[in-house]
Structures are given as C-alpha cells and as structure tokens.
Structure 1
Amino acid sequence: MFKPFSHIYIEEEVEDHFRTVQILEKFKSAERIKIKHYKDVFNKRGQNFRIQKLSPKLILAKKKDQYLYPGSDFSPNFDHPQFYYNTLALNCLYDCDYCYLQGMFPSGNIVLFVNWEDFFQSTDEFLEKHGNLYLALSYDTDLLATEAFFPATKAWIEFAESRQNLILEIRTKSGNYQTLAGMRPIPNVILAWTISPEIISKQVEKKTAPLDARIQSLKKASEDGWNVRICLDPILREPDWKDTYSDLVLKLRENLNPDKIMDISVGSFRMNADFLKNMQSLRQDTALLYYPFQKKDGVVSYSESENEQMVHWIRSLLSGWIIDAKIKLSY
C-alpha cells in the first residue's frame, strides 16, 4: 500500500511559518525537502500524474499574487454577478476519473498555500471595491477533506461571519462534517455536497467518502441549521443511468427533509476540450473519458438532446419532493 505524503517539500520562505509548523506536526515521519519555489517541483517536466496519485507528495508554499479568480463558465454562479474562486490548495486528495485537474495540472502532488492572511486581505479589498462577493472556496481541491491537517474551512467560516456581503460556497465529496459540527451556522455560508449514485461513486470517484457518509453529513449539517446544497453534478451517462439516478434520488428522499435543503444543483458532464485531450493521453483505464462527446466552442459534453433528456429525467425524479424553484440547472 502506497503511503501519501511520505515526502514534504517546503519553500524556504515559509519554513518557519506557524502554519507550516502545525502541518509538519501532523506528518512527523515524512522526509522534509527544502525548495526555492513550489513551481520548481509542481511544474517540472516529465511528471506522471497517474503514478503520483498513487503516493502524492505535499508541497507547502506561499501564494504571491492573484488571490481571486473569476469563476469558470463550467461552474454554476447561481445568478451572482461577482462569482469568484480562490486557490488555497492545488490538487485534491481524491481521484475522480472525470476530474479536470488531471488535464490541467502537470503534477499529481498537492500544493498547500499557508499564507491565508494574504487571501483574507485580498478578499476584503475586493469587498470594499465591489460591495459583495460570491466565493467558491473549494474549487481546485476538496478543502473539507484536508481539514484534519489544513483547517482552512473553519478559518474561512470564521472570517465570513463578520462579512455579511461575502457568500462562501464550500463544496465537498467528503463525510467530514464532524470537523465543523461545533461551529455556529451562519447565513452567508453554503455547505455543498456532490452526490453521485453509489455504483458510479465506487467506480469513478476513487478515495471519496461513500454515498451514505456524504448523505449523513449533509443531513446532520441541514439539521444543525446550515445552508445546504445538493450537487447532482456531473450527471454521468453511464450504463443504466436512469435506474441508478432513480435509486439515488429515492435515497435522498428517504433520508433528507426537503424543507431543510437550500437548493439542488443539477448539471451534466462538461469540460474544456484541451483538458479532456490531456486526460485521454494519460488514461486508458476508464471508458468514461471516451464517450462520443460533442465539441462546441472548445467545450465537450453530451449532445444537446442527451443533456436535455438527462436533466428532464432528474427533474422528474425530484418533482413532488422539492419545489421547482430550488432546482438550479447548469449544463
């Protein structure tokens, strides 16, 4: 069994940062390697993303510019004009077959930026200039999955508590709600769980929390009073997809109170065409990436008729359980 984080690369500039010290305390047996800049390791040529995912290394670094990025067209903005994301971490503990990160990054290792205060300051400056901000916090990673050694989620919730014009969305495939369970829910934070049918999750969402664990985390968060979002996104046109998604929605209906669900995001698979091409060059072990997708304006997805059929099917399954106004489409 390969062990993650057997080696930790540390930028010299953050070697003595208190957050670096705290993280290293969690991995006392890891070999520590000093580096000048994280890109010297993360961006070097000749890396194999797939092999590195078997035993990822950790890179601790300082982010020095661009703390906010405009949200991608591939992600729903929920009608917020100021939709942005930040990158507290690059790459993810999980290993989903459809994840665009493997087509975007040259490395399967994980970068953690320890200088959160610079991110906070940049966010405050944006709020002062623009008045409001919808910030996707867990975008190129799954922050809640790393909370045990990189507690950024808690820190950002505490930051948002005194900034009511900041809306945070924290999306996850983890079952780690217990790490937040002692916090007081606040109205401008959304906890969002990506939910997939159990058979699909087991096959293509490797290392993620089991479906039941995600649903129980979601249920507990909703009962505790958090704004909770269910993300049926991406819907995957896998064999017997109608039956598998029917079973999934039935399980949601059996376990969750619809009145305690803020909304449900529904969207089919879509991706930058270049990212998919890069992924196909790395992987021949998953049929998911070789579906006869259609390409339009640099984006690959199912055909328009397939997308409409899938979204209509999901909406019909949700009908009568949750009101239509809570169903948000993105495809």
Structure 2
Amino acid sequence: MKSKKKLYKNTFSHIYIEEKAFNYKSTNEILKKFKQSKIIRINNYKEIFSLKNQSFNKQKLSQNLILAVKNENLIYKGSDYCQNFDNENFYYTNSIYNCLFDCKYCYLQGMYDSANIVMFVNLEDYFKKLDEITKDKKIYLSISYDTDLMSFENIYPFVDKWIKYVQDNDKIKIEIRTKSINIKNLINIIPNNRIIIGWTLSPEEIIKKYEKKTPNLQNRLNAIKTLQTKGYDIRISIDPILKVDNFEEIYKNFIKQVSENLDLNKISDISLGVFRMPKDFLKKIRKFSDSDIIYYPYINEKNEKTYDKKDKEEMIKKIQHYLFLCNFKNKIYIR
C-alpha cells in the first residue's frame, strides 16, 4: 500500500478545486492525503477538464486531480454498451471521471480530451437522487463502469460509502467492477446479496502488455478468494477478449490458472466480451496511441469497431469450452 500512496502523491502534484467543493467534508478528507500538492481554485471543473487540444497521452504520465460538485445527470439509464445481467431497471452512475490504470484498449482515451481525474465530492446528492428513483421500484446500479472506483479507496472511501448506503436501501443492488486489489475496507464490512463485486480478469500476457499499472492476475485471484471467504458475491468479467498471437494457448492456460485458484462454481456468473469500441472513440485514439491493439483492422458494426463475426464467435466458443472443461456450471453472459 505504501508504494500506491507514493504513486498517488507523485501523480496529483496539482489539485484543482471548484469553489463550491470547499464546502464539503469529503474535500477536506481528500486534501489531507496530499499536503504537498499545489491547490488551485477554479469556478467549474470544465475549465480544466474540457479544454481543447489536450494531450491525453502526456497527461496520463502525470495526472492531476480535480475536485468538483456534480449538479445534474447523477444517475443514468443503463447504456447498450453495458450488460444488464437480466436486470430490468438497469442504471449506472459515475462519481469519478477517468482512471488511475492505463489500459491500452480503454475507451476512456477516446471519450475524454483530458486524462486528469475528476472526483465529485457530493456523494450524498447521488444518494438523495437514488432515494427518489427507488420510491416505487427496485433498480440494478453499476457504480464503476467509467473508472475503477475501488482503486481510489485509499484516497476517499467511495466504495465503502456506497456499500453502506445500499445496506440501508433494500431497493438497490449494485455492481462494483474492478481490477484493483484494494479490498481493505471491504474486508471489514458485512456484505449482503445486493452487492456484487465484478472482477475483470485477463491472461498475464495481456495484463503485462495492455493493462499498465494494474495488479497482476495472481494478486487479483488472491483478492477474490479473500472476499469470497467473507461472503461477497463475485462476478468474473473476461472482457475484452483480445485476438493475440497464441490465443488458444494463452487463454487456455489463463482459464486453468483461474480454476486452480478459485472454486468457479462459487462465482455468481461470468461475462464474456471481445474488444469493441465506438468508432469515433477509436478514430480519436488512433491519433496518439502507439498500441498495436488500437490499429487492428476492425470492422464497423452498428457504429462500433470490433472483430468480424466469425472471429468473435470462435473466440467466445473457445473461452466457453475452456470453462466447461473446468466444470463451470453457472450462468455465462455474452456481450
């Protein structure tokens, strides 16, 4: 954990803060972690975050932090790009823009002009909005599609607060998707069946080449085992599946390693999806990325860049076959 805190402090050398964000206790709690950072007051986070002609690549090398108050669009209806896992009332939310990790296939590179982190400090307003939405219905809510929320837990305990909120609102089920191993806060919380942790797993070869700054596979598996023993519902997401050299050997060994470390039939479900990205995002990323995964000759399918149908079907079938060989019997979702 010490190395991670050092990384955060080196990264957030400058912190931009909206004037109205100074009124929140969470702002003060965050600033205590960064006593050496330069504080710059601003009126609106978009003054910094939404500037044109920013270099996402260069900013990623030394990200700054922006603390802001979000006044609208706190909760969204679920996107077609996301899986709803058979839940009728599917919503998602984002209390942070951008991510500490640096995955070369990530759509955030094309979604935002800036690589800096925006953290919205008014989490209580999100909860009030959800209280309104859930007056007459139950909902399924993903809280970490546009960032890896758990990786920020040392900076501010967003996940901890979300779980405690859900414990008091029995009309909400949340999914926390992550690649992080930052589970210290979760160990001390009694879970319930309305909280599901969705770990994204990849072969170690993929992690080393395309998932910079993320924990290795074995450490992710160890974190999953720990939370399983505490009673958490765990989902595994193998997404994006990438068409790489030695695909069969790499993914077969990967599934074997996963099955040797986890009792797969204690996993709630597994979601599978191949690389896909809105075509406008990919076009934008190709202006600065040097990653081979970005320049693959994808086809266009409904304004989305992805592998052709034959390749997609073969890749998914291979992964399903490897899972069946490991006697996985629970639900498999395919995107």
Q: How far off its partner does 1:322 sit?
A: 4.3
Q: Retained in 2: the 8 A contact 1:5–1:30?
A: yes
Specify the alignment match of 2:245 in structure 1. Answer: 239
Deviations 1:50-76 (A, max 9, x none): 000000000000000011112222221
Deviations 1:13-60 (A, max 9, x none): 111321000000000000000000000000011210000000000000
Q: Secondary structure, in 3 states, of the residue corresponding to 2:285?
A: helix
TM-score, normalised by the number of residues in structure 2: 0.95
- Counterparts of 1:245 and 1:74, CA distance in 2: 24
- The residue type paired with residue 105 of structure 1 is Y
Specify the alignment match of 2:312 in structure 1. Answer: 307
5 Å matches for 1:127-276?
127-129=134-136, 131-276=137-282
- The residue type paired with residue 5 of structure 1 is F
Task: Please list every run of 5 or more consecutive structure 2 residues that lacks an aligned counterpart in the other structure.
Answer: 1-6
- Counterparts of 1:269 and 1:153, CA distance in 2: 27
Specify the alignment match of 1:87 in structure 2. Answer: 94
- The residue type paired with residue 179 of structure 2 is K
- Counterparts of 1:246 and 1:164, CA distance in 2: 40
Q: Retained in 1: the 8 A contact 2:265–2:328?
A: no
Question: Which of the residues 305, 318, 321 maps onto 1:316?
Answer: 321
Deviates more, 1:236-245 or 1:18-27: 236-245
Q: Retained in 2: the 8 A contact 1:223–1:260?
A: no
Q: How far off its partner does 1:103 sit?
A: 0.1
- Counterparts of 1:75 and 1:177, CA distance in 2: 24
- Counterparts of 1:303 and 1:164, CA distance in 2: 42
Q: How far off its partner does 1:178 sit?
A: 2.4
- The residue type paired with residue 70 of structure 1 is K
Does residue 24 (structure 1) correspond to residue 39 (structure 2)? The answer is no
TM-score, normalised by the number of residues in structure 1: 0.97
Q: Retained in 1: the 8 A contact 2:265–2:330?
A: no
- Counterparts of 2:52 and 2:323, CA distance in 1: 47
Q: Retained in 1: the 8 A contact 2:180–2:214?
A: yes
Q: Structure 1 pair 89/31, CA: closer, same or farther in 2 (3 Å)?
A: same
Specify the alignment match of 1:327 in structure 2. Answer: 332
5 Å matches for 1:88-107?
88-107=95-114
The alignment's C-alpha RMSD in Å is: 1.3
Number of aligned residue pairs: give it: 328
Q: Percent identity?
A: 41
- The residue type paired with residue 292 of structure 2 is A
Q: Secondary structure, in 3 states, of the residue corresponding to 1:20?
A: helix
Q: How far off its partner does 1:323 sit?
A: 4.0
Task: Please list every run of 5 or more consecutive structure 1 residues that lacks an aligned counterpart in the other structure.
Answer: none
5 Å matches for 1:282-301?
282-283=288-289, 285-301=290-306
- Counterparts of 2:25 and 2:292, CA distance in 1: 45
